[in-house]
Amino acid sequence: MNRSFIKSIDSFQVFMLGEGVPCYVQRYCKQLDASQWQWFYEQMLEPVTFVTDTAYLFYVLKWILKYDFDDLSYAVYFQDIMDPECNPQSLIKDEWLPVLWNRYGQRLKKELFGIRCSLNDESVTDVIGDDAAIF
C-alpha cells in the first residue's frame, strides 16, 4: 500500500474516507470532527513509518478503533506483541523494536501485570520474558 496518503491532512482525509480502506476505518473517520481528524492524522504518522506492511496497520486498526486509545504507536505495538494470530515474525521493523520497547516497556509490563492479576495466571516475565529476551 502506498504511503502517500499520509503526506498531508487533506490527502489523509480523502484516503481514509475512500473505497481503498476497510469499512470499519471509514465508519470511524466519518464520526471525526476537525480537531479529531488532526489528532488521528498525527497519531497515524509514526505507525506508518514503523510497520513493515501498511496493510497490516489497517488490519490491526480493526481492533484498535473499537476502544479509546491514547497513543496509536503503543496500540499497534501492543497488538504486535499480543498477536492473537501468532505470526512467527513481528510486523514492526527491526530497528523500531528497541525504540518502542524503551518508550513503552514499562507501560506494557504494567498492563500485562493487570491482565495477569485479573486472570491469576502466569507472571509478566512468563508472558513477555525479561527485557533482553524480547530483543
| pLDDT tens digits along 4-54 | 888 999 999 999 999 989 999 999 999 999 999 999 999 999 999 999 999
How deeply is 99 buried, as exposed, middle or buried, from its count of CB atoms within 10 A (0-12, 13-18, 19+)? Answer: middle
Report pLDDT digits (tens) over 65-95.
999 999 999 999 999 988 766 677 888 999 9
Paired residues of 92 in beta bridges:
51
Written as nine digits, the cell of 7 is: 503526506
Residue 132 pLDDT level (bands cut at 50, 70, 90): very low
More confident residue, 48 or 133: 48
